[in-house]
């Protein structure tokens, strides 16, 4: 599949990690990288002023709550989990997206600052994700929630959203929707897209393997909190929107998951953005497809909420 011209420009402009010796990266280097300025911050979108942005805790998990509606009426809630391979990323780094989602959906958006690996390995992030979802159902008045709740996640955040979705089902909590944007769904990393896009397309196969080791070294890859694609029964899960990038190692597992959901009778819409690379959704300043994808996701959320 040929790269989209904007994806080609992006890869030429921002250095790939394909020559990195991932095994040599230690905790100090990880923390230094986290503290560095976001090299693409200017392309993440504007920090649009909203009438309500507040940092809170949900069962001791840091969250940031966004609301574009200036009133105090009840609204549906969208829970957002950032990407970063369970190692990087933060509420601060995805601040522009949190604001944008609140504007596009008209919902209260709750962005989750889950614990990061390797300091907090599996299932730390998954536990935090589930804690926040559970808290929103338990305290609707605090969130000014109508009781209609959806989850959205990118990459590793898509992994957390998918895991939280089946945990909600099993706990008898009904999610309105789940949006999985180029999600990590199988720790096996053995799909054709892993081979086709292993190097030179942004997210390297070796880098993804390193992320899995940092988060879940020694964990059974069939554990559905790590590999939701391995969940034995996906029937009864929340309706889903799955977004994939055409030139991404994670493409196939996202599309396989969408196929499994459809086979089980779960309403699902899968959309591949041809020629796109991993991470495009968060960079509307660089990718026209990011705006198109966000419009699509927001429409699906508004319909379901």
58-116 confidence digits (pLDDT tens): 999 999 999 999 999 999 999 999 999 999 999 999 999 999 999 999 999 999 999 99
* The one catalytic residue among 193, 248, 252, 304: 248
Identify whether 278 is a catalytic site residue.
yes
- Span 249-295, pLDDT tens digits: 999 999 999 999 999 999 999 999 999 999 999 999 999 999 999 99
Residue 1 has pLDDT above 80, yes or no: no
The confidence band for 18, taking pLDDT boundaries of 50, 70 and 90, is low
Say which residue the tokens 């899995």 belong to. Answer: 212
pTM of the model: 0.97
Domain that holds residue 266: 5-304
**145, 155, 227, 304: which one is catalytic?**
155
Active site residue 248: yes
Total tally of structural domains belonging to the chain: 1
Q: pLDDT tens digit string along 150-201?
A: 999 999 999 999 999 999 999 999 999 999 999 999 999 999 999 999 999 9
Does the structure show a pLDDT above 80 at 17? no
Evaluate if residue 56 carries a pLDDT over 80.
yes
- Rounded CA-CA distance 185/166 in Å is 13
- Choose, from 148, 177, 278, 304, the residue flagged as catalytic: 278
- Domain harbouring 84, CATH code: 3.40.50.1820
**Interatomic CA distance for residues 10 and 296, integer angstroms:** 23
Closest CA relative to residue 109, chosen from 75, 79, 138: 79
| Angle, alpha carbons 77-80-81 (nearest 5°) | 150
Q: Which is nearest to 193 in space by CA: 243, 241, 256?
A: 256
Contacts of 164 (CB under 8 A, 6+ apart): 79, 81, 126, 129, 130, 133, 151
């Amino acid at each position: 599949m040929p790269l989209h011209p904007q994806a080609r420009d992006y890869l030429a402009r921002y250095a790939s990690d394909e020559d990195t010796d991932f095994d040599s990266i230690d905790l100090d280097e990880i923390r230094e990288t986290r503290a560095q300025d976001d090299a693409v911050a200017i392309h993440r979108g504007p920090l649009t002023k909203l009438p309500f942005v507040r940092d809170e805790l949900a069962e001791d998990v840091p969250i940031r709550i966004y609301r574009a509606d200036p009133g105090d009426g009840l609204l549906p809630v969208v829970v957002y989990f950032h990407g970063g391979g369970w190692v990087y990323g933060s509420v601060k780094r995805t601040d522009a997206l949190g604001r944008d989602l609140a504007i596009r959906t008209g919902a209260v958006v709750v962005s989750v600052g889950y614990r990061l690996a390797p300091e907090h390995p599996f299932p730390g992030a998954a536990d935090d994700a589930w804690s926040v979802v559970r808290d929103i159902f338990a305290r609707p008045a605090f969130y000014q929630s109508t009781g209609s709740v959806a989850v959205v996640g990118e990459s590793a955040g898509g992994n957390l959203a998918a895991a939280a979705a089946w945990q909600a089902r099993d706990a008898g909590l009904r999610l309105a929707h789940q949006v999985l944007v180029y999600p990590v769904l199988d720790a096996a990393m053995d799909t054709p897209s892993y081979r086709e896009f292993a190097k030179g397309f942004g997210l390297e196969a070796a880098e993804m393997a390193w992320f899995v080791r940092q988060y879940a070294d020694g964990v059974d890859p069939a554990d559905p909190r790590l590999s939701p694609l391995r969940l034995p029964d996906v029937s009864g899960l929340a309706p889903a929107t799955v977004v994939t990038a055409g030139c991404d190692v994670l493409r196939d597992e996202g599309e396989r998951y969408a196929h499994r959901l459809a086979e089980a009778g779960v309403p699902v819409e899968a959309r591949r953005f041809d020629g796109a690379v991993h991470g495009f959704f968060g960079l509307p300043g660089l990718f026209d497809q990011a705006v198109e994808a966000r419009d699509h996701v927001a429409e699906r959320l508004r319909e379901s909420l």
